[in-house]
């Protein structure tokens, strides 16, 4: 791990239960100059969690260290668990990211409980996220490859989750299954730099049709999914929270 990333982690004011890498590195298409998006969970001391002088339930750090841009966001464990139980696919991806910067036994417990937090209604998260990303793509002139890759990544992650119950955020790995012939070219163009990362007008209508087709596939996958209607891990997550708050990590 880059010492500049380790330095940011070591400087955090509260103990970290975990920190992982998200963003383009997790999604499988980082450029040489991509920043590092770090996400994680910290644990407020008991006195700051229950007292009037409350600690910070969200910490955000953004800085450039010797040319490396680093963005770190961590939530207190209680806030994170609330998000995890609200059908938030983004926090699932953070929790289960294979790009681990910091881990603890509590992190392993959380990962083991993650399947009990996955529901068929996580499809709404991915549909909404894809709609937002497509809107950003359409507002640009010229249209760039990067937001389009985010659209495809989100939709394929959502379809895969509905069909398998597994969280996979890496577009390259997802496309091993979905085999969309244009994905490798889009990734290559994004990695080649700004001069290759814009789309011709003639390509946009094709991608609009693909976007609409994959949205429909995700909606269909939601209907057919065998995933449960609601999470079943609330009691176990509560026990973990209490234990961590009282005993530490």
Which residues of the chain are in CATH 3.30.460 domains? 3-113+232-247
Question: Does position 193 have pLDDT exceeding 80, yes or no?
Answer: no
CA distance 101 to 249: 16
Higher confidence at residue 198 or residue 16? 16
Residue pLDDT, tens place only, 200-244: 888 999 999 999 999 999 999 999 999 999 999 999 999 999 999
Asked if 104 contacts 17 with a C-beta cutoff of 8 angstroms, the reply is: yes
Residue pLDDT, tens place only, 34-84: 899 999 999 999 999 998 888 999 999 999 998 899 999 999 999 999 999
The mean of the pLDDT values for the chain is: 95
Q: Which two tokens stand for residue 129?
A: 């996220």
Highest mean pLDDT among 85-89, 142-146, 163-167: 163-167
Average pLDDT rounded to a whole number, residues 110-133: 97
Name the 3-class secondary structure at 245: helix
Asked if 59 contacts 12 with a C-beta cutoff of 8 angstroms, the reply is: yes
The pLDDT, as a whole number, for residue 195 is 54
Residue pLDDT, tens place only, 170-184: 999 999 999 999 999
Average pLDDT rounded to a whole number, residues 130-154: 94
CATH 2.60.200 corresponds to the domain 3-113+232-247: no
In three-state form (DSSP H/G/I as H, E/B as E, the rest C), the secondary structure along 62-73 is EEEECCEEEEEE
What does each C-alpha distance from 194 to 86, 146, 234 come to in angstroms?
37, 10, 45
CB burial class (10 A; 0-12, 13-18, 19+) of residue 37? buried
Question: Does position 194 have pLDDT exceeding 80, yes or no?
Answer: no
Cα 19 to the center of its chain, rounded Å: 12
Of 17-26, 28-37, 191-200, 230-239, which gets the smallest average pLDDT?
191-200
Question: Does position 132 have pLDDT exceeding 80, yes or no?
Answer: yes
Which residue carries 């429909």 as its tokens?
Answer: 216
Asked if 125 contacts 141 with a C-beta cutoff of 8 angstroms, the reply is: no
């Amino acid at each position: 791990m880059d010492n500049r990333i380790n330095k940011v982690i070591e400087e955090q004011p509260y103990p970290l239960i975990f920190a992982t890498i998200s963003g383009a590195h997790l999604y499988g298409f980082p450029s040489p100059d991509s920043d590092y998006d770090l996400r994680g969970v910290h644990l407020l001391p008991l006195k700051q969690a229950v007292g009037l002088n409350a600690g910070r339930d969200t910490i955000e750090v953004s800085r450039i260290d010797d040319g490396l841009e680093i963005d770190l966001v961590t939530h207190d464990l209680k806030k994170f668990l609330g998000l995890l139980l609200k059908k938030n696919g983004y926090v699932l991806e953070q929790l289960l990211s294979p790009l681990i910067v910091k881990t603890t036994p509590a992190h392993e417990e959380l990962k083991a409980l993650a399947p009990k937090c996955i529901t068929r209604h996580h499809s709404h998260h991915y549909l909404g996220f894809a709609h937002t990303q497509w809107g950003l793509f359409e507002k640009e002139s010229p249209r760039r490859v990067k937001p389009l890759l985010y659209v495809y990544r989100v939709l394929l992650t959502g379809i895969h989750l509905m069909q398998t119950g597994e969280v996979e955020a890496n577009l390259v790995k997802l496309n091993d299954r979905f085999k969309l012939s244009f994905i490798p070219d889009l990734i290559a163009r994004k990695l080649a730099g700004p001069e290759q990362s814009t789309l011709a007008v003639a390509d946009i209508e094709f991608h609009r049709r693909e976007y609409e087709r994959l949205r429909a596939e995700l909606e269909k996958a939601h209907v057919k999914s065998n995933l449960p209607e609601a999470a079943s891990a609330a009691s176990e997550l509560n026990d973990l929270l209490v234990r961590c708050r009282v005993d530490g990590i």
